[in-house]
Amino acid sequence: MRALLQRVSSARVEVAGEIVGQIDRGLLVLLGVAREDSVADAERLARRTLELRIFPDDDKPMNRSLVDVDGELLVVSQFTLCADTRRGRRPGFSTAAPPEQAEPLYEHFVACCREAGATTATGRFGADMQVHLVNDGPVTLLLD
């Protein structure tokens, strides 16, 4: 499981021109699920996402977590994060989980974040989405 985290001052996701998820200050999480991923992986990644210290305080530019700053999450499914780009010019997706496996793990990740108290918005799994964001910093990190 991979999560591309972008610290944002705002973000939203649209499907067919309709805003389906929107946040202010927080993290945009692009989440990719691989074939070998499990419920335990989703739980561990959710915890790491919420606890990662990438927000500023008065002392350091990256000293506080999303929980510390009462930030919000926007979680968007992104199977292309599991692409194999080692050969050729076209990415392969054989390592990405099929939708029937990926969607429950994506939903479990979201549920873990919500259960931990994080305000969490989402995109729409499997939809053609337009993601708009204002990257703060810019700060972009890959967790896997």
Q: And the tokens for 112?
A: 């873990």
**79 part of the active site:** yes
Catalytic pick among 80, 85, 95, 130: 80
Cα→Cα distances 93→84, 103, 132, Å: 6, 16, 25
Catalytic pick among 79, 120, 122, 125: 79
Choose among 21, 8, 50, 39: nearest CA to 143: 50
Catalytic pick among 6, 49, 78, 122: 78
Choose among 12, 5, 17: nearest CA to 51: 5
**93 part of the active site:** no
**78 part of the active site:** yes
- Active-site residue numbers? 78-80
